[in-house]
Structure 1
Amino acid sequence: MKILLVEDEDRLAGVVKEGLVAEGFSVDVVSDGITGLWAATANPYDAIVLDIMLPGINGYDVLKELRGRKVWTPVLMLTAKDGEYDQTDAFDLGADDYLTKPFSFLILMARLRALVRRGAPERPVLVTVGTLVLDPARRAVARGGVPITLTAREYGLLHYLMRNAGDVVSKAQILDNVWDSAYEGSDNIVEVYIGYLRKKLDTPFGLVTLHTLRGLGYRLDPDV
């Protein structure tokens, strides 16, 4: 199995490569975003480990460009919770998984093996739930072709709900996946933003698709 590691911290890259090789992987290492993008498009890999903070272009721009070119190789992002981005951005742009630095090599191995087992099936660019459509590349949302303007937090919450459409998600799950670890306020903030979304997604269209299940959480259903 062949892995591309895009990481500019030489020591970390060396340790990860050594560990992967010991586990039987073939590993190519590059240290900047431009070379990483070239390598990922020019060569077949079973998975890509991609850092965010890279020279040249950052990991999110690399990922966005790969998905735009329909390169569906599974990507595991290395994120920093105190950085500009978080896991929500990673999933928005087409990542398959993420790890927060510092991380356990055993966890990295487990995540990579899971990604390799799943393979790289072509995935739709748009996320669709009924007439509601979200375009991660443009960070745009529309219902029935009518554009809907959302704040960054509303967008992140909607994307999480759409990825879990039909399932009940709790406040705790939403906070873990949409808010960052630095948030120390009340979990009632989730209810507030659910209300904001209802006013934009349902009310203008005479729909009820975003449901509250008391004591359990929230569920987004398709309208058709």
Structure 2
Amino acid sequence: MAAPTPPSHSSGRPDHLLVVDDEPTVRELLRTALRYTGFHVDAAATGQEALDLAARRTPDLVLLDVMLPDMEGFEVIRRLRAQPRARPGRGGDVPVLFVTARDDLQDRLHGLRLGGDDYVTKPFDLEELIARIHAVLRRTRGEQLARLTVGDLALEPDSHHVTRAGRTVRLSPTEFRLLHFLVANAGRTMTKNQILQSVWEYDFGGDPSIVDTYISYLRRKVDKGEPKLIHTIRGVGYVIREPRP
């Protein structure tokens, strides 16, 4: 399976995340989902293990549970902030996103006052969590993703918000990834193989009919009226382009 185009540091390398959670199922879910998204991921089951990993290699962001077997996540962030940076030129403190079942308002405030960059409570929506990770990374680096437009279609990568002629278009995560890929390559014909590799990450002959199926879903939602933006290039693939005069 080909690696997705990863979220990356200014150096061009994939962002490195550290997941800290003592629940094996949650830890594995996050590790698998985040690697699939394109991050490099390490995982720790205890606070001390997390501190040891961070000392050896400073992560770009830490996802930190509060309830750990050896110390609270609040103590982990205190010690993490006191560690010398393992990567020269890192600058500032490593961003920390709390992911925890501790949903009391005082816990939230305490985590943020200690320097946490965001606070997400369990159970969480995976898509929202990934969006928050991207937002924290951009915010701590002063980065923003540009709004993408084709004709009267507008796509906001930060919020996954899509509009056509000012009307909100609700898409599934896969539909959004497909539309984002087409819009990011507006005016260029994308083959089914290119789409499979970039949206579904298949590089071993994945069933190309899934592309046709999801293109039809997008057309029903994005191209209900006129002018049409999504076009089939027979025998090649698909292109999204500005309406022709």
Q: TM-score, normalised by structure 2?
A: 0.48
Q: Please tell me the root mean square deviation across aligned C-alpha atoms, in Å.
A: 4.5
Residues 16, 60 of structure 2: 8 Å contact kept: yes
Count of residue pairs the alignment pairs up: 155
The SS at the match of 2:190 is coil
Residues 134, 140 of structure 1: 8 Å contact kept: yes
2:132 matches 1:61: yes
The equivalent position to 2:183 in structure 1, one of 138, 158, 162, is 162
The equivalent position to 2:63 in structure 1, one of 17, 28, 33, is 33
Residue 60 of structure 1: how far off its partner (Å)? 5.3
The equivalent position to 2:142 in structure 1, one of 40, 63, 71, is 71
The SS at the match of 1:166 is coil
Residues 149, 155 of structure 2: 8 Å contact kept: yes
Name structure 2 gaps, 5 residues minimum.
Answer: 1-9, 19-41, 65-76, 82-87, 101-118, 121-128
Residue 129 of structure 1: how far off its partner (Å)? 1.7
Residues 151, 242 of structure 2: 8 Å contact kept: yes
Match of 2:156?
Answer: 135
Residues 190, 238 of structure 2: 8 Å contact kept: yes
Residue-by-residue CA offset, 1:16-38 (whole Å, 9 max, x unaligned): 998xxxxxxxx745772366xx9
The equivalent position to 2:230 in structure 1, one of 199, 206, 210, is 210
Residue 200 of structure 1: how far off its partner (Å)? 1.9
Residue-by-residue CA offset, 1:130-164 (whole Å, 9 max, x unaligned): 21111223222101211112222211211111111
CA pair 190-148 structure 1, distance change in 2 beyond 3 A: same
Residues 131, 159 of structure 2: 8 Å contact kept: no
Residue 210 of structure 1: how far off its partner (Å)? 0.8
Match of 2:104?
Answer: none
The SS at the match of 1:212 is strand
Aligned positions of 1:71-150 closer than 5 A = 71-72=142-143, 123-124=145-146, 126-150=147-171
Letter in 2 for 1:217: G
2:222 matches 1:222: no
Residue 181 of structure 1: how far off its partner (Å)? 4.7
Moved over 4 A (4+): 1-6, 8-11, 13-18, 27-31, 43-46, 54-60, 180-185
CA pair 61-164 structure 1, distance change in 2 beyond 3 A: same
Residue-by-residue CA offset, 1:156-205 (whole Å, 9 max, x unaligned): 2111111111111111111112125599863112112112212222232x
Match of 1:188?
Answer: 209
Residues 131, 223 of structure 1: 8 Å contact kept: no
Larger Rg: 2
Name structure 1 gaps, 5 residues minimum.
Answer: 19-26, 73-121
Letter in 1 for 2:138: R
Q: TM-score, normalised by structure 1?
A: 0.52
Residue 66 of structure 1: how far off its partner (Å)? 3.3
